[in-house]
Amino acid sequence: MTNHPQKAPLGTLWMAATTLGDMRDIPLRSLELLRTCPFLVFEEDKQARQFLKAAGVQRQWMRYTEQREAFTLEELERELKEGNDALYMSDQGTPGLADPGRDLVDVALRIGANLRVVPGPSSLTATISVCPIDCRRFQFVGFPPRDESERELFLRQHLDHPWPSIIFDTPYRMRQFFETLEKVLHGTDRKVFVGVDISGEHEEFWWGTIEIIFKKVSALTEKRNYVVIVEGNGQDFVSRKMRPQPSNQVKPRPEKLGFKFKPRGHSGKSTHKKPKPTGRR
């Protein structure tokens, strides 16, 4: 009987959250993984140094970029197959929403490696938590195109929707983005909510029509991160004060609630005669 050598267990890919602006927000588990995980992958070198400094260590890492995409994915696959754990952290917040982290997840799933997540800060949920627009239902449209005409077409298509739309874009295109958004929303009364530099030193929130928002953008002298929530087109809007009630809900009888219902003015004495026994029990 031939004994076949057992395969070494595959490693685990950790998708770990980091800070949005204040380094004190980084999860403790993320700091621990920065110290102990054998293989580290980051989006940018600057943020990688900041995260490792916060963890109190100096280590090597790999940068995942378009130029090094194939090489980094090959190295990740090799490390996981050898049984080594790997850690991915995006520039800000929780990875996988609008960053290349999805490619790393695809590698882990393809080879059957383990997947774990360290939840934490998210600019999307942080903005929703203080937004006056009802976001129980929303659509996330991500980053619009860089080209102005393509960006306008993108916004017109996605903002023609009954639900609020959540949009990301880069700080260096902030003015161009809002110029296009003003063109798209011009003549409407749809409200816009903007979270600026969330969890950072200059955190603030703007709320109003696009004309009001654009004045605030024009007054800025520095580039800042931001998240935009645009009110839906109103065709399917349900306010917080008008929460839908199930139409098929069966209301319990008063007797089932622990008390007997007695109409107003009723003496409490029954006017109905007891039925004669039939012999059946």
What is the tens place of the pLDDT at every residue in 254-277?
444 444 444 445 454 544 454 444
What is the spatial distance between Cα 29 and Cα 17, in angstroms, rounded to a whole number?
9
Q: Which residue has the tokens 């639900």?
A: 163
What is the spatial distance between Cα 128 and Cα 3, in angstroms, rounded to a whole number?
57
Are 152 and 180 spatial neighbours (Cβ–Cβ below 8 Å)? yes
Q: Which residues of 239-255 are buried (b: 16+ CB within 10 A; e: fewer)?
A: eeeeeeeeeeeeeeeee
The pLDDT of residue 3 is 59
Q: Which residue has the tokens 């995980």?
A: 37
CATH dotted code for 12-121? 3.40.1010.10
Low-confidence ranges of the chain (pLDDT < 70): 1-7, 235-281
The pLDDT of residue 275 is 47
- Mind listing the pLDDT tens digit for each residue in 43-77? 889 999 999 999 999 999 999 877 778 899 999 99
Pairing between strand 39-42 and 62-63?
parallel
User: What architecture is domain 124-230?
Assistant: 2-Layer Sandwich (3.30)
Structure letter (DSSP) for residue 200: S
Q: Which residue has the tokens 């290349």?
A: 100
Strand residues in 70-143 grouped as ranges (E): 86-89, 114-118, 139-142
What are the Cα distances from residue 198, in Å, to 75, 92, 100? Answer: 34, 11, 22
What is the spatial distance between Cα 14 and Cα 230, in angstroms, rounded to a whole number?
33
Sequence-ordered list of residues with C-beta below 8 angstroms from that of 36, at least 6 positions apart, any chain: none
Sequence-ordered list of residues with C-beta below 8 angstroms from that of 1, at least 6 positions apart, any chain: none
What is the spatial distance between Cα 253 and Cα 260, in angstroms, rounded to a whole number?
9
Locate the domains of the chain by residue range.
12-121, 124-230
CA-wise closest residue to 11 among 90, 94, 88, 108? 108
Structure letter (DSSP) for residue 6: P
* Beta carbons within 10 angstroms of residue 257's beta carbon: 9
The pLDDT of residue 97 is 84
Angle at 72 between CA 70 and CA 38, to 5 degrees: 160
Sequence-ordered list of residues with C-beta below 8 angstroms from that of 87, at least 6 positions apart, any chain: 13, 14, 16, 33, 34, 37, 39, 40, 41
Are 40 and 73 spatial neighbours (Cβ–Cβ below 8 Å)? no
CA-wise closest residue to 236 among 161, 185, 165? 161
pTM of this prediction?
0.77
The pLDDT of residue 47 is 93
HSE-up (13 A, CA, CB side) for residue 276: 1
